[in-house]
Amino acid sequence: GMQDQAIDYLIDALRWNPENSFAIVMMGNIWAKFKRDIPTAMKYYEQALVIDPQDYIAANNTAANLMQLRKFDEAEEWFQRALSINDSYPNTHYGLSVLSEQQGDLASAFYSAIQALKLIPKRDEMSKRCFVQASEIADLVVKQGRGADEVRKFAKQMELELGKPV
User: Which pLDDT score is estimated for 146?
Assistant: 62
pTM above 0.85, yes or no: no
Is the pLDDT at 99 greater than 80? The verdict is yes
Is the pLDDT at 104 greater than 70? The verdict is yes
Q: Give residue-wise pLDDT tens across range 14-72.
A: 789 888 888 888 888 888 888 888 999 999 999 999 999 999 999 999 999 999 899 99
DSSP 28: H
Q: Across residues 81-99, what is the average pLDDT?
A: 95
User: Which pLDDT score is estimated for 67?
Assistant: 93
Tell me how far CA of residue 38 lies from CA of 20, 68, 82, 162, in angstroms.
Answer: 21, 9, 19, 41
Q: Say how far residue 148 (Cα) sits from the centre of its chain.
A: 26
Q: What percent of the chain is predicted at pLDDT more than 70? A: 95
Is the pLDDT at 77 greater than 90? The verdict is yes
